[in-house]
Amino acid sequence: FSCKYVALELQGEVSFYLIQHYIPSMLIVMISWLSFYLDLRSVPARIILGLLKVLTMTTKSSLLPKVSYIKAIDKWMTICLAFVCAAFVEYSMAIVLINKKDQMLKLLDSPAVKVFTGLNGEMKTI
């Protein structure tokens, strides 16, 4: 019996997306991790670093072509944005915990805090 055979070779340019989107977004996520090495008390530096990376990621994802379905690069950019936001949220949680620790230490250093230190009822300031 006779058969017709059609072969289509589709070729896409991967290097464009690699150079324009994947590698820069990967570097942006790595740069956002630099905030982990900054001092916790350097609030302006960490906030600026975090906000700039979030804004950069949202700008990069808005430059992608608009289509009605989700592409692999959309998922990639969303995951990268999640990592950048997680680094920002980590700093927020760390600064809250440091402030609570400082408040507890200040409270314990006050002369109003006394404890019993034994059976004889002797009181000492911590």
φ, ψ for residue 125, nearest 5 deg: -90, 135
φ, ψ for residue 93, nearest 5 deg: -65, -40
DSSP summary character for residue 78: H
CATH topology (fold) of 14-125: Methane Monooxygenase Hydroxylase; Chain G, domain 1 (1.20.58)
What is this structure's pTM?
0.70
Reported in sequence order, the residue ranges of 1-126 that DSSP labels E, i.e. its strands, are 114-116, 123-125
Q: Does 49 have pLDDT greater than 90?
A: no
Q: How far apart are CA 105 and CA 97, in angstroms?
A: 12
pLDDT tier for residue 70 given thresholds of 50, 70 and 90: very high
CA dihedral (98, 100, 104, 105) in degrees, to 10, reads: 20
Q: State residue 82's pLDDT score.
A: 94
Q: State residue 124's pLDDT score.
A: 54
